[in-house]
Structure 1
Amino acid sequence: MLYTITFNPAVDLVMKTDVVHLGELNRVQKDEYVAGGKGINMSVLLKRLGHDNIATGFIGGFTGTFVRESLENEGVQTAFHQLDAITRINVKLHAAQETELNANGPTVTEADVAELMAYFDQNLVAGDVVFLAGNAAPGMTSDHYVKVAELCRVKEALFVLDSNKSLLTACLPQRPFLIKPNAQELSEIFETPVDTLDDVIANARKLQTLGAQNVIVSLGGEGAVLVTDSQEIFRSSVPQGTVVNSVGAGDSMVAGFMAKYIESKDYAQSLRQGAACGSATAFSVGIAEAELAMSLVDEIQIKRIGEES
């Protein structure tokens, strides 16, 4: 089974207007509510690609109900731990400039974490895949991420991690199967400029020496680089298209990559599908439909980079 974990999900209130006048009453032209969170985005795309999965994490209140029902409407199974608090609401204001107001979210206690960990201890088996994506909720530390990573290692499940610098590096000794930093994050982790392809590859390999098995480095409009556990290096191109919204593109890349890897165990083809899924979401208002992602696969060029690079 595939599992996603979102520790601090949200309901994103997306409002669109032409201009915002601070200190005055403003009326929006359009608004919509979207279940938000990196793991939640991954669950949606995995299901659209035909992979059943279970979304977990922490939710509460009427907004938590909205998150759960949104996923279930997509056909995603849910096993969230219920908090006695309200899942946060984030405001995404789209005007002449985009402005975001993100709430902190409810506090998660040690008892809450213990209950979620007990669920995984009971259900996780060898060969399962666990996607842990996003940042910690209030009350949580990197130790909680390490606990998930360690349990996956003990249970022989594949652990896929997409989070910030401190949470990512804390989990490296547990040998995550896949991590996906971007070039800026590589620079922050190793406190060195990452300006060239050689820099990207060298720093991805450093992450492997620290424990990561496979590293995808997203390069935005310049594609992505994959360094595999067998030291193969692949680079993907990007397809032609108009970027509508980059939110969720990285999540879609990871989900698309793993969906193909589960089917084929082929790293190059997995990178191709991951790149297509990431671009498809960037070209969409929300998380991409499978049809659009699959239509872009043939446009993605995969180049194998030799050891001399």
Structure 2
Amino acid sequence: MIYTVTLNPAIDYVVSLEAFHPGEVNRSQSDYKEAGGKGINVSRVLDRFGVQSTALGFVGGFTGKFITDYLTEIEIEHDFVSLKQDTRINVKLKAASEESEVNGVSPTIEEDEYQAFLLKLEQLKKGDIVILAGSLPSSLSINVYQEMVAMLKQQDVIAILDTSGAPLAEAINASPSFIKPNHHELAELFDTEVKDDQDVIRLAKQLHQEQQIDHVLVSMAKAGAIYVGVGGVMKLSAPKGTAVHSVGAGDSAVAGFIYSWQTSENAEEAAKYAVAAGSATAFSKTLCTKEEVEALLPQVNVTHI
């Protein structure tokens, strides 16, 4: 069974404008609301690939009810811990070719709520896959992902991680099976500069060899991606297209990798599917479909290094 974990979900309120003028009254051309958060996005993309998952995490208040109702409506299983405080709302403004975001304040997660969540993880079994994705609420310690990865590995559960900054720096010490930093996050992780592909490969090899991470997929936007792991070292080109929707592209790449790896256990095929999935979401107005991903797959060229 696949589980996704979103510790800091939100309602994404997406507003389209002809132009955004700070300090003035702006009128939207259209808007919509959806359940947001990286783990939730992964569940939504997996669902579009025909793969069932269960969404875990924290929700609270009327905003939390919106998220659970949303997932129920699209038939995605969920088992969240209920919080005393409301789930946050993130406002995403789309005007012409620019995107701006105003992210809401995260609710406080009390110790009893956090322990209730850990109890859910403790019930998972050997062979289950858990995708830990997104930022951490400020009320949680930066090492909670590290603790979760370590606990899951003791249970023979496969831990997938997609986060950045200090939580990533802590969690790699527990050796998750898969991580997907972009090249900027990779540079931040090692407090150095990444000037070219060789720098990316060198640092990714350190993560694979020294931290014993099976799969390191470094995304580089239009420049494609570099994979280092049990499948060797390879550079993957990005499909050509016009980016219209950046939200969820990285989450789609994670879902693509997991989907393909589960069916093929072939790192090259999984990395190709990840790149195609991330691009498909970037090129569309919402999260990608399986058909959109597979239409882009032939454009993803692989060079083994």
Distance 1:250 1:166 in 2: 19
Residue 259 (structure 2) pairs with residue 259 (structure 1): yes
Letter matched to residue 55 of structure 1: A
Distance 2:46 2:119 in 1: 24
Distance 1:172 1:16 in 2: 38
- 3-state secondary structure, aligned to 1:280: helix
Distance 1:283 1:21 in 2: 26
Residue 19 (structure 2) pairs with residue 19 (structure 1): yes
Structure 2: segments with no counterpart, 5+ residues: none
**CA-atom RMSD, angstroms?**
1.3
- 3-state secondary structure, aligned to 1:142: coil
Aligned to 2:61: 61
Aligned to 2:103: 102
Residue 228 (structure 2) pairs with residue 227 (structure 1): yes
| TM-score for the superposition, normalised by structure 1 | 0.94
Distance 1:250 1:148 in 2: 21
Aligned to 2:114: 113
Letter matched to residue 234 of structure 1: M
Letter matched to residue 24 of structure 1: E
Distance 1:68 1:119 in 2: 17
**Mapping 1:200-215, distance limit 5 Å:** 200-208=200-208, 209-215=210-216
Q: Aligned-pair distance for 1:15? A: 1.0
Structure 1: segments with no counterpart, 5+ residues: none
What CA deviation, in whole Å up to 9, does each residue of 1:225-276 have, x standing for no partner? Answer: 110136x112211112211111111111111001110111100011111111
Task: Name the CA shift for 1:303/1:86 in 2 (closer, same or farther; >3 Å).
Answer: same
Number of equivalences: 303
Residue 46 (structure 2) pairs with residue 46 (structure 1): yes
| TM-score for the superposition, normalised by structure 2 | 0.96
Distance 1:18 1:295 in 2: 31
Verify the 8 A CA contact 2:205 2:229 in the aligned structure 1: no
Residue 167 (structure 2) pairs with residue 192 (structure 1): no
Task: Name the CA shift for 1:22/1:174 in 2 (closer, same or farther; >3 Å).
Answer: closer
Aligned to 2:155: 155
Q: Aligned-pair distance for 1:44? A: 0.5
Distance 2:283 2:184 in 1: 23
Distance 2:73 2:303 in 1: 38
Letter matched to residue 127 of structure 1: G
Distance 1:159 1:102 in 2: 27
Q: Aligned-pair distance for 1:40? A: 0.7
Distance 1:276 1:174 in 2: 29
Q: Aligned-pair distance for 1:129? A: 0.6
Instruction: Say which is worse superposed, 264-273 or 204-213, in terms of deviation.
Output: 204-213
Aligned to 1:216: 217
Distance 1:46 1:219 in 2: 23
Distance 2:178 2:202 in 1: 17
- 3-state secondary structure, aligned to 1:199: helix
Distance 1:291 1:154 in 2: 37
Identity, in percent, stands at: 38
Task: Name the CA shift for 1:115/1:17 in 2 (closer, same or farther; >3 Å).
Answer: same
